[in-house]
Structure formats: structure tokens, C-alpha cells
């Protein structure tokens, strides 16, 4: 499918990059503008808003006033407007015609507290209609950063960031911003950036736009700007500047039709191998390899031929792989793609597709044009059934329509070649700290201001335009929606083999024939060689500084899976040098067995190298930086692993049967020679992916900056720990011919599947996802065959959310209850938490405290019954610049009562809770660091949390997500287990640890027997109701507020669903949870409508109005829910009625 790109820059949270970089820019500074941004900016005449006082002529995007000049690329203009009442919203619209355009907006001279919103997207009526897939739902709950944004309380602009949202899904920000999100989302756009500073502080937005279209600049009064009924005549000033870029939009990626038959199978169909047994696709382009590496380099031509033979052998006769079923494959030669002939002319040939990219190397979107074509071929090959495509531009194979086959059980994709052969996808780097654009400047500094990476090369252009490299889309189906941008979470394992034909041929032949030269098997055998006694080391782990905790966690996992923990070499301190690294990683035998060419040949008869190595350190693409930099022994270059040679032309097999992986920045950044400036020495041309592949080894590393946190394990660190768990996971198959008691046979996980599952578990076990999570997941890349298995002595049982070999998971159990007449079910889940003094852990470095309960402290009651109860998974919220708080995730997957269909989660709401309060609590705040002369963990530096003064973080503390497809799909509820409110000091405050949390889960039953016309109409409604206003007063008008002992709560709600033949969806429930008289319990209370159709709901609660703390909730009959948390205070700002407008969350 076409992979057009959107950039919606996110809030500039603080993280720790895992590599060298230039000093970080101040967070409030604007984004870097790509070099190709046009410089000629036309200053347009001032514009005055045309809306008459008291009217609503520009209060919707459809009625927005045009500003700017759509006939020119770059312009600036000043707009004057008036917000004359609390419900007034001013929409202005512009056309952005080029990708990578920069928009700068300043809203100042404010009469009151106003906010600024920017968003939009492709618009066919404006002549901009891109084939763009915004993604599927599933992550809205954990990408609605509204909870944390509401808690931050409007300081986003002040810390230099902007946020994005999916179709206006902005959680609990409240105010007219929510309504704006809904109205922009309703016309197919999405909110791209928001600035919500407090008071009259100017609002600013500065971001890049990747998808051309019509965009909206919206000025909105903050909730408390004007009480309802008040008017205003003072104007504001709005400055807008658009800098168009020189990037042009490539054609949409051509669709492909697969026309293969049984003769394409291994052995031409004569081996008895059916299409359902094909598990691997090899993507090979020998013509492109010849174009890049021959005929001038004739020896490489021989290697290109060798690659073809090796791939055919792997596809038809895969090596023995730890007793696992064979991974049969199909080689797809891109050179065999043929253009479809139509009435007009033939479409472009595959050569012309690559030629178009070659002449547009400076435009990263053209790399996606080629990658999209390849992805469309993969998609066609993996369809459940052959599909005839009327819009296909290419076809592959020549089989008749009734003889065609596909390969629906493929789980591995192998890409042959570097970025110049099979391009990485380019995705926007949404981060502001250690953005990929920094790497160009950093590498220039290394070589005295010259270009190391050619700026106009395909790799250099990606850096210049703030883009990251990822292979994830090749293994993903439709993407998830993520802040308006597609997030590709892989379902299939993807491995890439790089770089030159010589390197690739060496790697493939090592897998086929390496066991003949060494005593190692094809798979990665980490078992002991001690014969019942401690033997030589089989694995290694390194780490230092803030990577210490992650490295120790990896070590703990690896030692737990062994009979003898001493067989894991661990180098985890802040004092190690290059010789220490070599002793740990290579067991001290590097110079003996793997010498430089001047010192001899590789010793293939040596003892086994360590086969599983977690190499954690700062990296550049060409070197690893030891803990002690500047030592006489220097850094460790990738060149050292690239250049050793073999005697008698034996294949490069020294690292065959091994896997190395790293969280280091650019540790997996493969830089082919064509991207390196002329005259650069081999030192800078080498990288670890190429070096390990050349000698038969497998490598997992980051194609960009990795990230970590100072006193926790998150981002790239967290993904590495999850990867280690999956590499050590128990995987079994049914063994043919064995008795039932012996039917399960261990085969171990594959390295590719381990990486896929680690990425999916990362997302499953998250209460929020940011730009840094998205990047950490996207850039971790496998170089090697993804189906190579890992053999562990004492493998780990499956994670809590997955079935074990002898148990079923909740998703495989039919729910015990029937749906109601609308096909809906409700499930109540109660978590009771028994906290102990030892759960409050002191951080010695800073003197702060982390609440860290164990799984044994949580009891679960589930209305679906004991069969559905699973232990919750515990993890910490390490989103930077906020307090570290405990979180839990709980599987809420289930099957229909009457079928094998999976219930669909519609929403989750909190209906109760009991908490304690600890005053004077000093939480650990996750923080930013830069490169320092001494390790950060040896300092007591810790930021404060002034954004949380007076408000509870997180305000909306729960969410749900749906991750994975088919058997890998999991639905989960995630929630924080505590909240924190900062006192005026900005550092310490009140912790609210929960002793009980009660949630309701709303499901839809997809059983076709239930799908009446009314139900289908309701399920088409994806817009929640809007909470228009909230009022709190004394129920007795004769009693003053100060004397009142009860509070009357009034909530005005409006149904915004579209009308169908069954009418609108209608409001099903308006409720609130409020803190009861004991001051420690959230109680649930339903409100009653005052009159049919009025939309006004009331309830009296036995609480003094001034003490009332509430979270309002409105649900329509379709199951869409809106919340309002009063920006984390849970307190109405005044006792007068005021407008709040809840966001319209689109789910489809």
C-alpha cells in the first residue's frame, strides 16, 4: 500500500541518547529547517477576520477563512481577530503544497487566556488527494497523551514542544480544543500541534508538514477565559509564516499482482512442498547489485551469481535448525517484475522505477516510492488467496488466473542488500532530542568540518529532512494510527543482509556450509559445554553509566536461564576500556583467532566464540565507545571486525551461529560506500552490521539514535530487555510419532520472531506512547536470517499475556455471558493492592523514592470468572520529565459466548477506587542528560516537576490498547497505580497510591447472527458525545454556598453522532466518579436527565460544593465515551457554569 508520510512533531520530552551527539538545543527553540527549504518569503498584506460579532461564521473547518496565498510556496502574514465570547472559535485555513514545509505560528497580544491549534491533511477539493492510509485503530488509548498533557496544565509551549493527536483524540485536555479535534477529524484531518500556555503568555507552534493538503490554524479561548454570557471586543494578533520546500511528491507506489503457480515452489513443485509450507520470502535484486557493484568490480559479479545459488539452496533445502520444521522459502527477484500493458502504454519498468529514485536521491520520499513497490509485492505474495488487481502496474509470474497461488503462512522476510539495493523506509523522526538531523553535523565535526556522509545521497537526504530508517513496514500490515502518522508495528520477522555482494555471499554460504568448517551448528546454541561442570563462557553483557541497570537486567535474564551463571561474561562498570571489552565479548581470543590481515588468517579450529552478546555502550556507526574514553587503547572500530581474512578462500564463518545486539546509537546504521564522501578512510566506511554479516554473524542494532532513561529502563533499554526475554523464551512444537506425554519438543525462538514479539510486548505494556517510544521501536533492526533459532538451557515460560504449552489464554475462552440486544457486553474488573513499606524504594543517587510493588501484592476479581483471571504485568512509567510511577497491564481479550469471534473492546471506564495519601513524598523524576566528563549515575542531579504543581498526574490514569493480528492479537487494560501532585516547591508533594481500582470494559460482540441494521448503524458511530458545560451549586437556592452541605452537579451533554435511518445514537449514560465523604474513595454516581431531550443531567451528592472533586463521563448508545478531569485538579474552576467541550474521539 502507498506509504506517504506525515510529520506531527510531539512534545519535547527529555531522554538520554545512547551515542555521541552535539550539545542538545534548548527545548524552546524551533525545529531545524531542512537545507532545501526555500528562502524567498513573500510578505502578504495584513488580514482582518471577517466574522461579525456574535456570529459563528468561521467556527467550523468547513467555514474557515482563507489566509495566505495558495499560488506561492513561501509567505508570511499577520492576522487580527476577536474572540468575542466563551463559545467563539476562529478557524483559518491555508494550503500547503509541498512536503517538508515549515509552518511557524505566533499568537500574541492576547486579551485573555487563549490556546492555539494546528491540523489538517489531504483535501481532494483543493486538488491534493494523496493515497494515504492513516492506519487502523488500537492505540488511541495509549496515544491520547491528554492525561499527561492535562496534568502538565498548559506548559507545553513553554517547554518547547507541540503535541499531536489522532483525529482530535486529546484525552482530557477539555475546552474547545476537543471539539476542534472532532471537527477536523470529521473531515479526514488530524490535529498536528497545540500550544496551551497559561494566561496571556504568547502561544507558538513551529513544525514541519510532510503531507501536503489544507491545514487549519485555530484560535480558541481556554476554559476559564470568559464565563458564559460575557462578551469581549479586544483583538488578538496571529502571525503565520509558511516556508515551502523544494521536495516534490513522487508517484504512489505501484500496485503488484502475483501470478505464480505450483511450478514456482522449491523443486518446481516436485518436492511435495506446498504453498502453505512456505514461511520465508527472499527479496533479491541481482540486476541492481550488478548495476551498483559491477561490471567494473568483476569479482563481485561472481559473488552476485553465488548469492542466487545460495538463496535457491536456502529456499529449497534450509539448514537443520534445532529440530524445528524447515523454513522453506521463495526467492522473489525484483528484476522479474513486469509492467502491466494497458490501452495507453506500458507502465514504467522496474529499472525505470529505480532510475526515478536515482535522479531524486536528495528527496527521501522517492526511497519510499521504491520501498512501497517492494512492500506491495510482499503484500501480494502473502495474501490469503490470490487477488486480481485492476489497478496493478506490475505483475510477477505468468500463471493463468485459475492456477495462481499465494503464501499465506509466510512469517519471515529477508531483504538482500543495503539501502542502495532494497531501500529502508523513511519515516519522520518526531523527536526533538537527538533528532537524526543532528548526525550529519556530528559526523562533520569528527572529520574537521568536511562531509563524512554525502548530504545529497539517499542516506544524507534522510538525515537532512529529519527522517529515520526502518524496515518495520516490510513486516507490517496496515499501520496503527499514531498522532496522525502511521505507526508500523511488525507482525512478520524482517532480516536484512548487507552490504557488498562479497559480504552477502560470505554470509549466506556461512549459513549453508559453515558447520563443515567449524564445530558450530546453524542455530545459536547457548547451552553449556562443561559436561555437567561450569564450562567456557557462552554469552556476554556490557554496560556503563545509565545503561548499567539495563545491562544488569539482561545479565539477570541470561544467568537465570543457565545452570552455571559464571558462563555469562559481564562487564558492567564505569571503568572499562577497549581491552576489557575484547576480553569480555571475545573471551580474550580476538587477536589470537581473528587477527588483522598483517598478523595472519582467521583460525577456524579455535574454541567457540561467545554466541550471544548484548553489547551496550555508546556507538557511532563506525565505532563502539568504551566506558573510559580517551584512553591510550582507544575506541573499538567496526573496521577491526570487517577486515580479517581466511586462508584457502573458505567462507567467512567466524561469527556463524552467533548473535550480537546493542542499544547503542547508530549501532545498526549500515552506511554503504556510495553514501560516504570520497577520500574518507575505511574507518568511517565500516559499520557493525556489515562487519558481522561478512563473517557469518547476526546483528541487531539501531539505525538511529537510541534512547534510555537515567534511573530506569525505558525506550531502547526496555526494548533490549524484552528482546533478551524473547530470545530466551520457551518455544515448543508437537513432535511426530511421540506419545502425548512427550508430544511437545523444544525448538527455541527465532531471532526475528523474538524481535517482533519484543516490539509488540513493548506496546502492549504501555500506558502512554511518545515519539521516543515510536522511534526506539522503529529503528531496532535485524541483520541476518530471521528464522535462525536460539537454544537455551533453561528457557523462560511464556509472558503472562500469552498461553503456555499446557494452558489457554483468555483470548481462547468464550465469555460466560450473553450480549444485550445491541450486541454489547460489560465486564467489571477490580484490582486490590496490598502495599508494603518495602515497596517504597529509595534511589540512593538522588534521595528520591520509587513506588515499586511486586505482582504478589495485587489481587484480581473479574466478573467474567476465575478462568479469565491472569496475573497483571507490572512496569514503570518512565516517560521523561514526569514522576516514575507503577503501572499495570491486564489482558482483557475474550471470545464471543456463541462463536469463535473475538469480542471487540469498545471502551474502558473507571468506576471506583480507594487510595491513601503520603505527604512530603519526593518522587524520582526521569531526566535528561548529555555527554558528561563523569557518569551521570555518579551525580545527584534530578529535575523538579513544576508542571505538576496543584494538579494530579496522571489525571486520566487508565487506557486500553489492541495490539497484534490473528493469534498475536492481545487486548489489554493499562493503568497507573498511583498519582502525584506537586506542592509549590515544584519538587515534593503528595503521592496517592491506590489500594483498589475498579474498571468496566465495554465490548461489542461481532457474531454475525447479532448484526441487525440498528446495531450496524450504532457501530458506525465513532464520535463520542461532547460534554458542553459543567456547573456545581447549592441544591437549595436559599442557602449560600459557604453554608451548603450538599452539591448539585449539572452536566450539559450533546450527541454529535450522524443521523441514520434509526436516528442518532443518543446518550446512554452520564455519570461521574467523585471523592466521597471519607476523602479516600472514588464513588460512582449516575446523573439523571432533567427533561427528555434537554441534554441536561443532574445529581446531588452529599459533599460541600467547595470540597467536591469529580471526573465527568458521558457515553452514547454506540459505546463512545468522553471524560473530563478539570485538567488534573478534578475541581471545577468556579461555581459558575462554563464551557468545557470534550474531545471527539474517532474510532473506526
> The domain that contains 81 carries what CATH number?
2.60.120.1050
Question: Given this model, what pLDDT does residue 876 score?
Answer: 85
Domain presence at residue 1: no
Q: Are residues 707 and 567 in the same domain?
A: yes
DSSP, res 443: H
Collapsing DSSP states into helix, strand and coil, what is residue 496? strand
CB count within 10 Å of CB 390 equals 7
Q: Taking 90 as the threshold, does the pLDDT of residue 838 lie above it?
A: yes
d(CA 559, CA 570): 10
* Domain interval for residue 957: 802-1010
DSSP, res 239: E
Question: Given this model, what pLDDT does residue 931 score?
Answer: 39
C-alpha cell at 436: 537524526
Assign residue 1038 the CATH number of its domain. 2.60.40
The closest alpha carbon to 1012, from 1077, 1060, 954, belongs to: 1060
The closest alpha carbon to 670, from 415, 409, 931, 342, belongs to: 415
Domain presence at residue 7: no
DSSP, res 144: -
Q: CA neighbours within 13 Å on the CB side: how many for 419? A: 31
d(CA 438, CA 431): 11
Q: Are residues 329 and 471 in the same domain?
A: yes
The residue-averaged pLDDT of 863-872 equals 89
Task: Give the rounded distance of the alpha carbon of 821 from its chain centre.
Answer: 37
The residue-averaged pLDDT of 1122-1148 equals 49
Q: Model confidence over 1062-1082: pLDDT tens digits?
A: 878 889 999 999 999 999 999
Kind and range of the H or E run holding 354: helix 350-358
Q: Are residues 439 and 580 in the same domain?
A: no
d(CA 776, CA 1096): 46
Unique residue bearing C-alpha cell 526555500? 38
Question: Given this model, what pLDDT does residue 117 score?
Answer: 84
Q: Taking 50 as the threshold, does the pLDDT of residue 1 lie above it?
A: no
The residue-averaged pLDDT of 861-880 equals 86
Q: Are residues 736 and 851 in the same domain?
A: no
Which of 185, 218, 243 represents a domain boundary (last residue)? 243
Collapsing DSSP states into helix, strand and coil, what is residue 423? coil
Domain presence at residue 328: yes
Report the mean per-residue pLDDT for the chain: 83
The mean-pLDDT minimum among 220-234, 436-450, 553-567, 676-690 falls in 220-234
The residue-averaged pLDDT of 702-709 equals 91
Question: Given this model, what pLDDT does residue 344 score?
Answer: 46
Q: Are residues 314 and 341 in the same domain?
A: yes
Which residues, in sequence order, are bridge partners of residue 814? Answer: 895
CA dihedral 763, 766, 767, 768 (to 10 degrees): -60
Q: Are residues 562 and 618 in the same domain?
A: yes
Domain presence at residue 28: no
**3-state helix/strand/coil string of 1069-1088:** EEEEEEECCCCCEEEEEECE
**Measured at the alpha carbon of residue 458, what is the angle toward residues 452 and 463, in degrees to the nearest 5?**
65
Collapsing DSSP states into helix, strand and coil, what is residue 481? strand
Q: Are residues 577 and 696 in the same domain?
A: yes
Question: Given this model, what pLDDT does residue 343 score?
Answer: 52
Domain presence at residue 498: no
Q: Taking 60 as the threshold, does the pLDDT of residue 188 lie above it?
A: no
Domain presence at residue 494: no
Assign residue 679 the CATH number of its domain. 3.40.50.1460
Domain presence at residue 12: no
Q: Are residues 779 and 844 in the same domain?
A: no
DSSP of 1009-1023, one letter per residue?
GG--HHHHHHHT---
Q: Pick the residue with more confidence: 173 or 52?
A: 52
Q: Are residues 367 and 456 in the same domain?
A: yes
d(CA 883, CA 12): 16
Which of 740, 766, 791 represents a domain boundary (last residue)? 791
User: Total structural domains in the chain?
Assistant: 5
Q: Are residues 1034 and 909 in the same domain?
A: no
Q: Model confidence over 943-985: pLDDT tens digits?
A: 778 777 888 888 778 888 888 777 778 888 999 999 999 998 8
d(CA 1062, CA 1060): 5
Domain presence at residue 667: yes
The closest alpha carbon to 664, from 545, 760, 560, belongs to: 545
Question: Given this model, what pLDDT does residue 24 score?
Answer: 28
Buried b (16+ CB within 10 A) or exposed e, 245-280: bebebbebbbbbbbbbbeebbbeeeeeebebebbbb
d(CA 507, CA 233): 73
Question: Given this model, what pLDDT does residue 127 score?
Answer: 56
Which of 791, 814, 832 represents a domain boundary (last residue)? 791
In contact, 554 and 720? CB cutoff 8 Å: yes
User: Given pLDDT bands bounded at 50, 70 and 90, which one contains residue 249?
Assistant: confident
Q: Are residues 776 and 841 in the same domain?
A: no
Question: Given this model, what pLDDT does residue 1144 score?
Answer: 28
Collapsing DSSP states into helix, strand and coil, what is residue 374? helix
pTM: 0.87
Q: Model confidence over 783-817: pLDDT tens digits?
A: 999 999 999 999 998 887 665 544 555 556 889 99
Q: Taking 50 as the threshold, does the pLDDT of residue 173 lie above it?
A: no
Cis before 499? omega within 30: yes
Report CA Rg, the chain. Answer: 30
**Measured at the alpha carbon of residue 834, what is the angle toward residues 829 and 839, in degrees to the nearest 5?**
125
Q: Model confidence over 115-158: pLDDT tens digits?
A: 888 888 776 555 555 555 666 777 766 764 322 222 222 222 22
Q: Model confidence over 254-311: pLDDT tens digits?
A: 999 999 999 999 987 777 899 999 999 999 999 999 999 987 656 677 889 999 999 9
Question: Given this model, what pLDDT does residue 530 score?
Answer: 80
Collapsing DSSP states into helix, strand and coil, what is residue 764? helix
Which residues, in sequence order, are bridge partners of residue 848? Answer: 843
C-alpha cell at 1076: 466521597
Q: Taking 90 as the threshold, does the pLDDT of residue 1031 lie above it?
A: no
Q: Are residues 1042 and 1087 in the same domain?
A: yes
Q: Pick the residue with more confidence: 1 or 518?
A: 518
Cα dihedral across residues 121, 123, 129, 134: positive or negative: positive
C-alpha cell at 323: 529440530
Q: Model confidence over 474-505: pLDDT tens digits?
A: 999 888 877 667 789 999 999 999 999 999 99
Amino acid at each position: 500500500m502507498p506509504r506517504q508520510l506525515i510529520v506531527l512533531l510531539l512534545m519535547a520530552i527529555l531522554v538520554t541518547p545512547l551515542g555521541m551527539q552535539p550539545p542538545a538545543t534548548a527545548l524552546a527553540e524551533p525545529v531545524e529547517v531542512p537545507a532545501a527549504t526555500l528562502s524567498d518569503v513573500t510578505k502578504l498584506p495584513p488580514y482582518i477576520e471577517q466574522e461579525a460579532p456574535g456570529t459563528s461564521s468561521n467556527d467550523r473547518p468547513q467555514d474557515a477563512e482563507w489566509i495566505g496565498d495558495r499560488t506561492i510556496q513561501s509567505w508570511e502574514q499577520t492576522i487580527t481577530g476577536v474572540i468575542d465570547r466563551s463559545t467563539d472559535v476562529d478557524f483559518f485555513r491555508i494550503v500547503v503544497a509541498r512536503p517538508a514545509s515549515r509552518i511557524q505560528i505566533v499568537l500574541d497580544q492576547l486579551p485573555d487566556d487563549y490556546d492555539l491549534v494546528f491540523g489538517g491533511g489531504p483535501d481532494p477539493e483543493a486538488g491534493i488527494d494523496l493515497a494515504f492510509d492513516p492506519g487502523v485503530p488500537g492505540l488511541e488509548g495509549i496515544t491520547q497523551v491528554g492525561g499527561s498533557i492535562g496534568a502538565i496544565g498548559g506548559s507545553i509551549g513553554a517547554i518547547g514542544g507541540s503535541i499531536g493527536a489522532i483525529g482530535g483524540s486529546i484525552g482530557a485536555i477539555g475546552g474547545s480544543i476537543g471539539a476542534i479535534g472532532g471537527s477536523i477529524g470529521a473531515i479526514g484531518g488530524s490535529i498536528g500541534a497545540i500550544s496551551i500556555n497559561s494566561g496571556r503568555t504568547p502561544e507558538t507552534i513551529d513544525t514541519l508538514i510532510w503531507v501536503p493538503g489544507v491545514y487549519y490554524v485555530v484560535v480558541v479561548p481556554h476554559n476559564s477565559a470568559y464565563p458564559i454570557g460575557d462578551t469581549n471586543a479586544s483583538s488578538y494578533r496571529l502571525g503565520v509564516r509558511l516556508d515551502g520546500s523544494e521536495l516534490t511528491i513522487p508517484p504512489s507506489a505501484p500496485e503488484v499482482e502475483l501470478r505464480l503457480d505450483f511450478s514456482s515452489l522449491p523443486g518446481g513443485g516436485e518436492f511435495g512442498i506446498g504453498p502453505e509450507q512456505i514461511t520465508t520470502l527472499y527479496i533479491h535484486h541481482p540486476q541492481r547489485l550488478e548495476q551498483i557493484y559491477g561490471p567494473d568490480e568483476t569479482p563481485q559479479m561472481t559473488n552476485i551469481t553465488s548469492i542466487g545459488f545460495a538463496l535457491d539452496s536456502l529456499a529449497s533445502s534450509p539448514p537443520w535448525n534445532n529440530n524445528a520444521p524447515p523454513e522453506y522459502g521463495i526467492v522473489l527477484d525484483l528484476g522479474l517484475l513486469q509492467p502491466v500493458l494497458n490501452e495507453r502504454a506500458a507502465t514504467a519498468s522496474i529499472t525505470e522505477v529505480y532510475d526515478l529514485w536515482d535522479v531524486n536521491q536528495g528527496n527521501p520520499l522517492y526511497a519510499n516510492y521504491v520501498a512501497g513497490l517492494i512492500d506491495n509485492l510482499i503484500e501480494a505474495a502473502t495474501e490469503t488467496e490470490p487477488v486480481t488487481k485492476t489497478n496493478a502496474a506490475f505483475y510477477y509470474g505468468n500463471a493463468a488466473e485459475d492456477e495462481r497461488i499465494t503464501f499465506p503462512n509466510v512469517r519471515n522476510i529477508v531483504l538482500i542488500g543495503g539501502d542502495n539495493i532494497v531501500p529502508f523506509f523513511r519515516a519522520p523522526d518526531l523527536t526533538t532530542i537527538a533528532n537524526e538531523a543532528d548526525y550529519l553535523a556530528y559526523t562533520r565535526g569528527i572529520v574537521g568540518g568536511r562531509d563524512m556522509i554525502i548530504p545529497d545521497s539517499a542516506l544524507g537526504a534522510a538525515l537532512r529532512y529529519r527522517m529515520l530508517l526502518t524496515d518495520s513496514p516490510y513486516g507490517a500490515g496496515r499501520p496503527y494510527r499514531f498522532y496522525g502518522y502511521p505507526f508500523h508495528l511488525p507482525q512478520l520477522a524482517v532480516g536484512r543482509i548487507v552490504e557488498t555482494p562479497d559480504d552477502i555471499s560470505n554470509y549466506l554460504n556461512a549459513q549453508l556450509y559453515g558447520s563443515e568448517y567449524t564445530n558450530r551448528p546453524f542455530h545459536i546454541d547457548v547451552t553449556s559445554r562443561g559436561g555437567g561442570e561450569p564450562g567456557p563462557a557462552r554469552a556476554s553483557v556490557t554496560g556503563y553509566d545509565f545503561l548499567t541497570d539495563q545491562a544488569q537486567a539482561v545479565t539477570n535474564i541470561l544467568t537465570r536461564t543457565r545452570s552455571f551463571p559464571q558462563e555469562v561474561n559481564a562487564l558492567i562498570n564505569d571503568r572499562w576500556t577497549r581491552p576489557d571489552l575484547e576480553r569480555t565479548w571475545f573471551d580474550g581470543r580476538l587477536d589470537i583467532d581473528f587477527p588483522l590481515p598483517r598478523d595472519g588468517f582467521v583460525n577456524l579450529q579455535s574454541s567457540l566464540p561467545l554466541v550471544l552478546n548484548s553489547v551496550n555502550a555508546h556507538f557511532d556507526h563506525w565505532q563502539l565507545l568504551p566506558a573510559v574514553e580517551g584512553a591510550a587503547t582507544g575506541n573499538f572500530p567496526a573496521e577491526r571486525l570487517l577486515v580479517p581474512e581466511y586462508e584457502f578462500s573458505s567462507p567467512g564463518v567466524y561469527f556463524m551461529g552467533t548473535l550480537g545486539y546493542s542499544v547503542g546509537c547508530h549501532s545498526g546504521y549500515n552506511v554503504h560506500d556510495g553514501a560516504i564522501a570520497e577520500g574518507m578512510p575505511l574507518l568511517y566506511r565500516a559499520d557493525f552490521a556489515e562487519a558481522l554479516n561478512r563473517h557469518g554473524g547476526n546483528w541487531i542494532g539501531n539505525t538511529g539514535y537510541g534512547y534510555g532513561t537515567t534511573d530506569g529502563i525505558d525506550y531502547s533499554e526496555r526494548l533490549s530487555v524484552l528482546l533478551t526475554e524473547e530470545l530466551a523464551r520457551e518455544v515448543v512444537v508437537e513432535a511426530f510419532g511421540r506419545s502425548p506425554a512427550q508430544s511437545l519438543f523444544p525448538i527455541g525462538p527465532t531471532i526475528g520472531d523474538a524481535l517482533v514479539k519484543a516490539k509488540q510486548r513493548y506496546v502492549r505494556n504501555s500506558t502512554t506512547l511518545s515519539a521516543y517510544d515510536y522511534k526506539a521501536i522503529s529503528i531496532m533492526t535485524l541483520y541476518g536470517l530471521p528464522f535462525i533459532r536460539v537454544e537455551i538451557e533453561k528457557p523462560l515460560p511464556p509472558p503472562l499475556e500469552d498461553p503456555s504449552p499446557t494452558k489457554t489464554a483468555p483470548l481462547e475462552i468464550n465469555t460466560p455471558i450473553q450480549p444485550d440486544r445491541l450486541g454489547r457486553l460489560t465486564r467489571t474488573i477490580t484490582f486490590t493492592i496490598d502495599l508494603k513499606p518495602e515497596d517504597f524504594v529509595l534511589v540512593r543517587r538522588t534521595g528520591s523514592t520509587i513506588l515499586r510493588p511486586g505482582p504478589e501484592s495485587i489481587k484480581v476479581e473479574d466478573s467474567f470468572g476465575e478462568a479469565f483471571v491472569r496475573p497483571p504485568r507490572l512496569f514503570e512509567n518512565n516517560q521523561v520529565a514526569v514522576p516514575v510511577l507503577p503501572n499495570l497491564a491486564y489482558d482483557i481479550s475474550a471470545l464471543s459466548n456463541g462463536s469463535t469471534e473475538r469480542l471487540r473492546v469498545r471502551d474502558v471506564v473507571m468506576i471506583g477506587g480507594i487510595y491513601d495519601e503520603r505527604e512530603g513524598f519526593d518522587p524520582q523524576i526521569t531526566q535528561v542528560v548529555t555527554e558528561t566528563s563523569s557518569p551521570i549515575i555518579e551525580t545527584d542531579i534530578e529535575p523538579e516537576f513544576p508542571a505538576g504543581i496543584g494538579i494530579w498526574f496522571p489525571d486520566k490514569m487508565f487506557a486500553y490498547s489492541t495490539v497484534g493480528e490473528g493469534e498475536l492479537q492481545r487486548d489489554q487494560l493499562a493503568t497507573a497505580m498511583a498519582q502525584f501532585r506537586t506542592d509549590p516547591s515544584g519538587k515534593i508533594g503528595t503521592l496517592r497510591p491506590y489500594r483498589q481500582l475498579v474498571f468496566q470494559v465495554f465490548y461489542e460482540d461481532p457474531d454475525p447472527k447479532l448484526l441487525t441494521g440498528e446495531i450496524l448503524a450504532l457501530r458506525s458511530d465513532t464520535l463520542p458525545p461532547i460534554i458542553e458545560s459543567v456547573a456545581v451549586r447549592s441544591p437549595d437556592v436559599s442557602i449560600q454556598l459557604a453554608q451548603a452541605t450538599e452539591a448539585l452537579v449539572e452536566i450539559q451533554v450533546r450527541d454529535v453522532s450522524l443521523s441514520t435511518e434509526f436516528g442518532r445514537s443518543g446518550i446512554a449514560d452520564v455519570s461521574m466518579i467523585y471523592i466521597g465523604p471519607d476523602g479516600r474513595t472514588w464513588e460512582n454516581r449516575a446523573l439523571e436527565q432533567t427533561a427528555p431531550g434537554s441534554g441536561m443531567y443532574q445529581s446531588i451528592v452529599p459533599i460541600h460544593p467547595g470540597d467536591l472533586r469529580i471526573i465527568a463521563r458521558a457515553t452514547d448508545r454506540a459505546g463512545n465515551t468522553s471524560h473530563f478531569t478539570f485538567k488534573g485538579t478534578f475541581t471545577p474552576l468556579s461555581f459558575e457554569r462554563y464551557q468545557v467541550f470534550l474531545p471527539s474521539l474517532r474510532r473506526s
